[in-house]
Structure 1
Amino acid sequence: MKLKTLLMGAIATTALAPVAFADGHEGERGRDGQVNIIYWQAPSILNPYLSGGTKDIESASLVIEPLGRYDENGALVPYLVDEIPTVENGGVSADLKSITWKLSEGLIWSDGSPVTSADVAFTAEYCMHPEGGCAQAAKFDGVDSVEIIDDLTVKVTFVDAKPNPYGPFMGGQSPIIQKAQFADCLGAKAPECTEANFNPIGTGPFVVTDFRPNDVIQMVANENFRHEGKPAFASLTFKGGGDATAAGRAVLETGEFDYAWNLQLAPDVLAKMAEGGKGVPVSAFGTLVERLEMNLTNPSPDLPEGERSTIAHPHPFLSDFSVRKALSMAIDRELLVEIGYGQAGRATCNLVPAPALYASDNTECLTQDIDGANALLDEAGWVDSDGDGVRDKDGVKLSILYQTSTNAVRQDFQALIKDWWNQIGVETELRNLDASVFFGGDPGSPDTFQKFYADVEMYANNFDGTDPQAYLSAYRCGNEPKPASQWQGENINRFCNEEYDALLDELARTGELDKRGEIAKRLNDIITRETMTIVPLVDRGRVSAHSNTLGGVILNTWDSELWNAADWYRIGN
């Protein structure tokens, strides 16, 4: 079968030109003074390769950049290159086994040194190092080699034909890091390079001057930024911590901050805040799914450290599909949407809810069925043998530790789900953790979502762009967080399925879009409907807010929300 190249959405083939705003707002770099951003989940590190937390990826995107990004429509646009490689322009080989990127001329790092293809190749080496753990390893799935052609040209070769070659170096999850700064940080040494991880040298619009993990970041305009007159702001404060309520008030009611991210608030609360008149909420749907992750391994503290939540020890009861399915059946997703998100949420059974090409028609989970869940557990032999209200089998009780980050909506969800699970004989202990720690990726912390020292955990994330291949590849066998990878890895559940891996390989070499859609839907169904390894709850619209005086904001659900911060400006100046 003849393969076709995958070009999701329109591809912009020329570099982004300086923006001429409708009010003629142009001028010198730094002309608009200070801008203040608040993320209630505080960044812990500024290296996306050592953290899967959105807060870390997005704060880092102000400093370090990929070769290309996805715009607000999901189209591929060049950033550190003049054009996106395609078959038509010769950048992607006819056999689809390689993609060649050519850096724009004259790019320099914030320290004044030139950006070269050696930096690009080193970035791949850094993430693909066999002795390290890379939080974005799925971006490099199927890469055979990364070859330096000349100072500005690098060629990525894949093991097989790759109709979607835009995994490495595309989007905020896969930025270029400077070889000179990170040269001694390969493999197991990566987490030890505190200075580089906290203060990366970059090509982005801002430079870090002070980074306080889990608290605040101070930045100033990058004097070596490639676009004249940008950024408009001379300095930037990135405040982390607190909660979504305080973040929303800081923009919408008090005007203390200019931009607030991820306002995960009940709809009536957000509407009341908006009456403050200092700012406006902005929202859009993308691929952000609030879900439950089922731990297929044993997180018991009775196991030796280094063996907890590893594939050496299967979970004592979540290894049973009937238990996982019953837990899903007991949940009323429509009520969760009503309580937590209103019009900014949609009940879903899918890990990949969009684009439509890749969204399964699975709706089976949308109807709550407490009676059916009880019957399923009865049939599987899980009964309350001692009358304490908790089902058990062979001496193992259905007693769950259910964790998530600290957030009012998530705690409401926990309380409702605990009650529903109690109705099917499942005992549930709730734990909520500071988001900066939970999503931080610190290999020494017992409380990260990667380490997963609980039975069930709840969170949401999404993927760059509109193609889910790299996202679904996260659940490949062997990609689980483990001691040998410094607890980095995207296969949070420790899921391993031969059919799933074979389908990933088929997706990687399939170019025809309808066929890609069929395969992606099948992958989605395996990990959700057929195994209940992931239990989707809500397709969440992204809701943020910006002040009335902050111009140039374009909400982007396909890349970092801060993707165009270089174009922000102060209205009225």
Structure 2
Amino acid sequence: MREADIRAAIQAVRSGALSRRAFIARLTAVGLPGPMAAALLPMSDAAGAQTGKPFYEPVRRGGGGALRMLFWQGPTLLNPHFASGSKDQAACRLFYEPLVDWDRDGNLYPMLAQEVPSLANGGLARDGRSVTWKLKPDVTWHDGKPFTADDVVATWEYARDPATAAITHGSFRSIQVRKVDALTVRHEFDRPTPFWVDAALHCVLPRHLFAAFRGATSRDAPANSRPVGTGPYRFVDMVPGDLVRGELNPTYHQPLKPHFDTVTIKGGGDALSAARAVLQTGEYDFAWNLQIEDEILRRLEEGGRGTLDFAHGGHVEFLMLNHADPWSEVDGERASPASRHPVLLDPAVREALALLVDRDSIQRFLYGRGGVGTANFLVNPARYTSTRKGLGHDPARAEALLEAAGWKRGPDGVRQRDGKRLKFLFQTSVNATRQKVQGLLRQAAQRVGIELELKSTTASVFFSSDPGSQDTATKFLADLQMYQQGRNGPDPGRFMEMFCSWQIASRENKWEGRNVIRWRHERYDRTFRAAEVEVDPVRRAALLIELNDLVCEDGAIVPIVYRPAISALTRRLRAPISGWTVETAQIADWFKA
């Protein structure tokens, strides 16, 4: 395709005569990698249209009063590179910002970067081996010090150090970040990299506060709990697991923003009480992550005080099977990567557990609009969705499998073999819908001779990153667990690294490794490495689908439902929320009409 033809196609997108999808398809058909084709297009401003129309036109900074947000999981830490739970990530985004982020439609928009790099503006190298980021001038940290390229480089050095034990380590470990000048950095890759934006999606930390705490002393930094960022709000105070408060940043780099004078994230309670506090009483302006039966949500909506927002992304509720032994110790560590689970490594047991999940009933009677049954972990966009249908719900087949594998019923009805019993501890966070799913699975398991002991832990503890707690999801000191996993952005490349062997959570990495099921699969590792460097969008999509199929068909996990992010907003609150990042990513654009 000639340059003149490309420019004409870009203009057609701007005018609305050609869709973004059609544009990308046209260029990939002539050999240009999909991400590079997308990078040629102008990105929308915040949640505005492709014409660049902003979400709203502010007339002055502040004046909006207090923004009251209710998170039934209270934030426990405020370092975005340690925030393994979305409630901590959402709190961090009041104060910290990345170079770019995703809008509701899955388009990139600039935050601390001046613009989104592209082939057209010279930021993206044609060989896919580097990307140059121009930083916004005149941005300051909350303590008044200037934001520069040194901060971006220092964040890379901090996160890539294995001893730091950052959950973002995978995004930084294989790149080089070079300072070009005070307001320019270059990300360099040792091979063509289709997902070149990965590291730029993570929040930048101030060098002057974190450089001395890189590596083994990373948890000692005072700023871990007293953030100093560039974001629209400045830190006031925090009570871990209870509340976080911020105040308007008077020197925020986006003109006339933010709208609200103060912001409070209140934790505690449950999803239902949070929904009521917005939709029924109006006590709060916003309620987060409403994993509630749809019938109840519909009744609450009838009160007329608020509305529900469904932000579609890639969030999946799924069952996890522990491949390590949570009941024995290796060098003082339970569920050590050096151990293997005494029962769940049996393929017949894993397949039987998968056959017990009744997705149709879970969707119909519990989730409704809030959850669509799926047998795949990787969902949305459609180009990355596998055609596999899974095993379906078949308790009779599960019972036959266990019988054939030598698992015989004992006097109490629980199956056993070689002195081992099919009795498992099944944990999740405290949540009414999750507890009902647990109950359905326990009933189905009991019918086939499996006993499930149910455990639920307060969400603020379960999803915390406290290395001293025995009840966190990352430690996974149980046989089975269930929760939602979402991803940052429509590209699932980095997301699927969570099942790679080098991501296994352990004491050595302070349980910040993303592979909490401690699953090892050589073919999966090889396929992921191939997807990392495959620039052909069709072949890369096929590799990513293969990753989904490998982890699901092995029975390492059992997907249950795909979940849009559901939030409640008072009638006056206007909030652009993207399902491809945390709900507060565009908090600077929130306002009351």
TM-score calculated relative to the size of structure 2:
0.91
Name the structure 2 match of 1:370.
395
* 2:330–2:336 contact (8 Å) kept in structure 1: no
Structure 1's 8 and 533: CA in aligned 2 closer, same or farther, altered over 3 A?
farther
| 2:289 aligned to which of 262, 266, 283 | 262
Taking the aligned partners of 2:281 and 2:337, their CA distance within structure 1 comes to 49
Deviations 1:252-307 (A, max 9, x none): 0111111111111111111111122211111133211000111100001x425742
Shift of 1:501: 1.2
Query: What are the equivalent positions in structure 2 for 1:30-69 lying under 5 Å apart?
Result: 30-69=62-101
* 2:43–2:108 contact (8 Å) kept in structure 1: no
Matched, 1:557 2:579: yes
* 2:46–2:54 contact (8 Å) kept in structure 1: no
Name the structure 1 match of 2:209.
181
* 1:405–1:432 contact (8 Å) kept in structure 2: yes
Shift of 1:86: 2.5
Name the structure 2 match of 1:570.
592
Taking the aligned partners of 1:102 and 1:464, their CA distance within structure 2 comes to 22
* 1:12–1:77 contact (8 Å) kept in structure 2: no
Matched, 1:424 2:448: yes
Tell me the secondary structure at the aligned position of residue 200 of structure 2.
coil
Name the structure 2 match of 1:168.
199
Query: What are the equivalent positions in structure 2 for 1:221-240 lying under 5 Å apart?
Result: 221-240=248-267
Aligned residues: 561
* 2:329–2:335 contact (8 Å) kept in structure 1: no
* 1:120–1:177 contact (8 Å) kept in structure 2: yes
Deviations 1:526-554 (A, max 9, x none): 0112x111110001122111011212x12
| 2:555 aligned to which of 500, 521, 532 | 532
Query: What are the equivalent positions in structure 2 for 1:518-529 lying under 5 Å apart?
Result: 518-529=542-553
* 2:94–2:246 contact (8 Å) kept in structure 1: no
Query: What are the equivalent positions in structure 2 for 1:462-481 lying under 5 Å apart?
Result: 462-481=486-505
**Aligned letter for 1:109?**
W
Shift of 1:499: 1.1
Q: CA RMSD in A?
A: 2.1
**Aligned letter for 2:366?**
G
Shift of 1:2: 6.7
Matched, 1:200 2:224: no
**Aligned letter for 1:454?**
A
Name the structure 2 match of 1:383.
408
Taking the aligned partners of 1:243 and 1:270, their CA distance within structure 2 comes to 14
Structure 1's 45 and 12: CA in aligned 2 closer, same or farther, altered over 3 A?
farther
Shift of 1:62: 1.4
Name the structure 1 match of 2:524.
500
Query: What are the equivalent positions in structure 2 for 1:151-550 lying under 5 Å apart?
Result: 151-170=182-201, 174-193=202-221, 195-300=222-327, 302-303=328-329, 306-365=332-391, 367-384=392-409, 386-529=410-553, 531-550=554-573
**Aligned letter for 1:407?**
N
* 2:243–2:267 contact (8 Å) kept in structure 1: yes
* 1:12–1:83 contact (8 Å) kept in structure 2: no
Taking the aligned partners of 1:37 and 1:265, their CA distance within structure 2 comes to 18
**Aligned letter for 2:209?**
Q
Taking the aligned partners of 2:526 and 2:583, their CA distance within structure 1 comes to 34
* 1:97–1:160 contact (8 Å) kept in structure 2: yes
Taking the aligned partners of 1:17 and 1:247, their CA distance within structure 2 comes to 27
Greater RCO structure (CA 8 Å; 6+ sep) = 1
Shift of 1:27: 2.7
**Aligned letter for 1:182?**
F
5+ residue gaps, structure 1: none
Tell me the secondary structure at the aligned position of residue 521 of structure 1.
helix
Shift of 1:16: 4.2
Shift of 1:140: 2.8
* 2:47–2:103 contact (8 Å) kept in structure 1: no
Residue identity (%): 36
**Aligned letter for 1:422?**
Q
Taking the aligned partners of 1:106 and 1:249, their CA distance within structure 2 comes to 42
Taking the aligned partners of 2:509 and 2:445, their CA distance within structure 1 comes to 34
Shift of 1:475: 1.6
Name the structure 2 match of 1:121.
153
Shift of 1:426: 0.9
Taking the aligned partners of 1:265 and 1:22, their CA distance within structure 2 comes to 32
Shift of 1:357: 0.5
TM-score calculated relative to the size of structure 1:
0.94
5+ residue gaps, structure 2: 1-29
Shift of 1:397: 0.9
Deviates more, 1:232-241 or 1:97-106: 97-106
